[in-house]
Structures are given as structure tokens and as C-alpha cells.
Structure 1
Amino acid sequence: MTDTIFDLVQGDGPLVISMPHCGTALSPGLAERLTEEALTLRDTDWHIPRLYGFASGLGATLLSARYSRYVVDLNRASTGESLYPGQATTGLCPDVLFDGTPLYREGQAPDAAEVAQRVEGYWRPYHDALAAELARVKARHGFALLYDAHSIRSQVPRLFEGRLPDLNLGTAHGTSADPGLIARVVTAMESAVAAEGMTCVTNGRFVGGHITRAYGQPGHGVHAIQMELAQDRYMDEEAPPFAYRPDRASRLQRVLTAVLDAFAGWQPAQG
């Protein structure tokens, strides 16, 4: 089963790109339990593998989930604690959509035993693969660079006020990567968005989820950042089929290329 949980393309550079929320598959029997709105898979990080397809040219390793975050959220701790205590969010096995409406038909939400099964069957294989790839590239290069790739509708009032900036960089408040590396990426991002007439923020509403916080250990040679993108910059975000828009995506890809060039081109100080 594990070989169907994710797609993995190994690269020869220090960069690993994780795409935990791009999957659209549902576990057996789940579709019949979901509301009509949930079945649109609205909260998916749509088209992220396509958007970052250029990264293979940087020698990046690409790890992308096949299953929906509605099965289990790979960017949450397996124990289920909130990433943002006191703020609206969704859980390890969500029971509401981002806008707060029910995900399940009445009485169909998973119990604790089912949640545990989903963790073992879907969450753990992805994280085992991610940990293995970070260890592989670190053994080869002496360090590893983890870029956790996400996107979300540009306006979700339950989660944040107003319109989200186009690029939202998270570094766990500066703890998940080397300070010099963070500064290098921020400078590249700010310059690129200015050139394209876009907006950005660092450690705003999204400071990095479980993957960034758990794997980003700069003292041990693993440097992690999260990027959350406003979906209207590369796709139709309002209604199915949530189409990819190459005309919009090409501009955003120029910005992302600058960001990833800065990230992947970094070298730790010697000595």
C-alpha cells in the first residue's frame, strides 16, 4: 500500500520539496460519508506539483502526497495538537472545511480508532519517506534543505482577515533554518515579488506547520521553510474544476524560481 501513498522523484541536490496537501484520492468508502461541498475537495493545494515542476532542474527531490488532506493532514502532528492554539484551524483528520462547514454527513465522522488507522496507513508512510530523503541528501551533501510547498484560497475569513499576501513564507519564527539562509531567501522573495507586482510576508498568518517545525533543525544540518501561496495567482480558486491558469502561473513561477534559487544555492559556513 505504501507505494501508492505518495509520488517520489529523487534528485541529486540538497533540496527536498514536500507537497503534503496536493493529493485528491480518498480512502475506500470515504466519499460516501462526505458532504456534497466536501466532495469538491475545495481545500486541496491544487496543482502544486505542476507549479513546481521546474524544480527538478535544480536537482530537487520531489515528494508529493496522493491522498487528500481529508483522509489525514500530513502537516499536523500525529498526536493531533493544534498548530495555532486559540486560532481557527483544522485538525489531523478534519471534520470541518476551512470555512467551518461540516466535512462529514451527520454521524459519519471518524472515531479515535479510525483516526489511528489513518495515521498508520497514510500519515506514517509519508513521514517515513520524508525523513529517509532528508537523511539521504544530508549524507551526500552534509546538510539538507526542506521546502514545504502549500497553497490556499486567497480569502478564507474564518482563518484570516482580508486577502492573504501572494507569498507567505514561514520559518517557525526564525528557528527552522539558519538565520543567514532565511535572510537570503527573504531578500530574494521581496525583490522578485516587487518586480512582478505581487505581495509577500514572512511569519504572518502561516509560520510553518508540523513539517517545518519538526524537521527544521538547523543545529543538525536540516533547514526547513514553508511557503503558502494565494491560489488566485496561478489558478481559478472559486469553483470547480479549479482550473490551472498558465497565464497567471508563469508570473508566479518566476518569483518561485528566484526563491528556490536562493534557497538551493545556499551553502553552510565552513569551519
Structure 2
Amino acid sequence: MNERYPFLISIPHGGILVPAELRGLINLSRKEIIFNSDPHTRLLYGFNDRVEAVVDFDISRVFVDTNRPPYDYPPRAQDGVTKVITQDGTPVFRKGQVPGREVIAALLKNYYYPFHGQLTRALNTLPIRIAFDCHSMLPKSPPVRADSGRPRPIFCLSNRGDLNGKPKTAGGLVTCPPEWLQALARSFQTEFEGEGKVAMNDPFRGGFISVAHYRRSRVPWVQVEINRGLYETPDRETDEKRLAELRERIFSAMANFWDEISG
């Protein structure tokens, strides 16, 4: 197939930059910022030459998380659009330096809304048939979560539904048809046969990006999470060859899924 696949790829957590508005307030080292972002996802999902659109984000999710509602910020939320603590419980900001409403409003204006605007323009102007919101996850649930220490699947595919991709309640919202999510899971399981489980809506059910843009456009959305254990050592080292191999296999799983359901 020579033409581009009708996919929108969203990569909201691959950036590692600190916004200018927060410089001098941060309690984290560069290494900690990278760990608490989604390292290497811009490479793993960067299918720019093969899909209709790729939208990614330079700023670390620690400081501006585009997969959270814009009204979720401190002190109301510690894991909202601007984080107060990391996934291992480390304070993000120096003592007494947590940004207030005016600074967060500037972060939303300068970074958050432009990212969502790019997604909206792609959905409005390009022949997008399905969108993937692409992430990475730690091999085990981190200390800040209720299921701390629980091992995770190699991939989690989410549409806000149940473990089979179906609505959790009668008439409940799902951001992608259950049959599509099941077909996508089969395609990933085939591609990664023998390497681990591909799960649906466990441990993640999909976040703000998928829900908000599905509701507005009605284009199906799937949140994709890859287990960092597939490409990181326990010391967080990576192999460029392994990353490139995984990139091709992820795209193969997505493309084979689409060829099946659109054929």
C-alpha cells in the first residue's frame, strides 16, 4: 500500500522540555524529568511518512499534561495538567514554588491549547478514519497508584470500555467500536506472539485526549500504551536497534488491523 494510512497519531508525553514559565521552580533533575515522561515514544510512534498526521509535544508531561482536563490543576489535583508529585512520590517543585493559577493559565494558553488545536485541525481537514493516542507505561504500577507493584501487559489498548472493549454500562461511552478494538488487540497479539499479553482497558481505560476529541469529531480513538520493559533495561538503558525494530512491528500491527477491518 503506497498511500498513507488514514491515521492520526497523537504523542502527547514524549517531550522532555521545561517551559520557560517554570524555570527556576523545578525540583527535578533532567534524568528524573525523562523518567517521568514517555521516553522514546516520539521514535516508537513517529510514522510521519506513512500516516495522514502525527502530532507530538515538546514539553514534559510533568509540567503540561495534555491528557488531563484543563481544569485539573493544583491544589485541586496532584496528577492533573501540572503535576505536584512524580509517579514515585518526588515533589516536582521546590518548597513553596508550586505555580499558582496565573502561571498555569499561561501554560494552558502557550502549550496545552495549541497542542489540542493541532489535533482538531488534523481531524477537521484531513481524511482521518481513526486516531491513536500513543504512550508508554512502566513495567509495574508505580507507588502513587492503588495497584502499586502490579505487573503490566506488554500493550494496553483502551477505548473507555471493559476488558473486551465493550461499554461498561448500557449506552456507556466507548471511543472506538468494540469490534475494532478487539481486532486491533488480535493484530498486536499476533505481531508480538509469545512475548506477553495484549490487554484491553487494563490498566488504563483511555484519557482526556481520546474522550474529548472523540466527542467532538466522532472519529474513533484508541489509547495505546507500550510496556517500557520491551525496550528499557532495569537501569533504563535502551538499544537503538531494538527501538527501530519495535517501531516497525507496532506499525505493522496497526496497518494489518486496518487492512482487515477496511477490506
Q: Output the TM-score relative to the length of structure 1.
A: 0.79
Q: Report the equivalent of 2:150.
A: 162
Once the two structures are TM-superposed, the CA of residue 236 in structure 1 deviates from its matched residue by 4.1
Distance 1:214-1:201 versus aligned 2 partners, 3 A rule: same
- The 5 Å alignment of 1:47-58 reads 47-53=40-46, 55-58=47-50
Once the two structures are TM-superposed, the CA of residue 253 in structure 1 deviates from its matched residue by 3.3
Distance 1:103-1:110 versus aligned 2 partners, 3 A rule: same
Q: Report the equivalent of 1:5.
A: none
Q: Report the equivalent of 1:70.
A: 62
User: What SS is found at the alignment partner of 1:32?
Assistant: coil
Q: Report the equivalent of 2:159.
A: 171
The answer to which of 164-173 and 57-66 deviates more is 57-66
Q: How many Å separate the matches in 1 of 2:233 and 2:87?
A: 17
Q: How many Å separate the matches in 2 of 1:258 and 1:68?
A: 28
Kept after mapping to 1: 8 A contact 2:26/2:92: yes
Q: How many Å separate the matches in 2 of 1:223 and 1:29?
A: 35
1:96 equivalent to 2:96? Answer: no
Distance 1:237-1:28 versus aligned 2 partners, 3 A rule: farther
1:265 equivalent to 2:259? Answer: yes
Give RMSD over aligned pairs. 2.8
User: What SS is found at the alignment partner of 1:33?
Assistant: coil
Q: How many Å separate the matches in 2 of 1:58 and 1:144?
A: 14
Distance 1:29-1:134 versus aligned 2 partners, 3 A rule: closer
Q: Report the equivalent of 1:44.
A: 37
Q: How many Å separate the matches in 2 of 1:94 and 1:116?
A: 14
Q: In the TM superposition, what whole-angstrom CA distance separates every residue of 1:29-85 from its partner, at most 9, and x where no partner exists?
A: 5242111457631211111121123x235334111101111221010111218xxxx
Once the two structures are TM-superposed, the CA of residue 121 in structure 1 deviates from its matched residue by 1.2
Distance 1:65-1:120 versus aligned 2 partners, 3 A rule: same
Kept after mapping to 1: 8 A contact 2:68/2:208: yes
Distance 1:263-1:111 versus aligned 2 partners, 3 A rule: farther
Q: Report the equivalent of 2:239.
A: 245
Structure 2 residue aligned with 1:25, among 14, 17, 20?
Answer: 17
Q: Report the equivalent of 2:169.
A: none
1:233 equivalent to 2:230? Answer: yes
Give identity over the alignment, percent.
Answer: 23
Q: How many Å separate the matches in 2 of 1:185 and 1:127?
A: 25
Once the two structures are TM-superposed, the CA of residue 183 in structure 1 deviates from its matched residue by 2.1
Structure 2: gaps spanning 5 or more residues: 166-173
Kept after mapping to 1: 8 A contact 2:13/2:135: yes
1:80 equivalent to 2:79? Answer: no
Structure 1: gaps spanning 5 or more residues: 1-10, 82-87
Distance 1:234-1:200 versus aligned 2 partners, 3 A rule: same
Q: In the TM superposition, what whole-angstrom CA distance separates every residue of 1:228-256 from its partner, at most 9, and x where no partner exists?
A: 11112123464xxx543234335533541
The answer to which of 148-157 and 203-212 deviates more is 148-157
Q: In the TM superposition, what whole-angstrom CA distance separates every residue of 1:80-129 from its partner, at most 9, and x where no partner exists?
A: 18xxxxxx972111010011221111001111221122111110000011
Q: How many Å separate the matches in 2 of 1:22 and 1:49?
A: 6
Distance 1:221-1:111 versus aligned 2 partners, 3 A rule: closer
Q: How many Å separate the matches in 2 of 1:52 and 1:100?
A: 28
Structure 2 residue aligned with 1:200, among 194, 198, 201?
Answer: 198
Q: How many Å separate the matches in 2 of 1:268 and 1:215?
A: 22
Q: How many Å separate the matches in 1 of 2:182 and 2:41?
A: 25
Kept after mapping to 2: 8 A contact 1:24/1:66: yes
Q: Output the TM-score relative to the length of structure 2.
A: 0.82
Amino acid at match of 1:261: A
Q: How many Å separate the matches in 2 of 1:237 and 1:212?
A: 31
Q: How many Å separate the matches in 2 of 1:198 and 1:249?
A: 17
Amino acid at match of 2:131: L
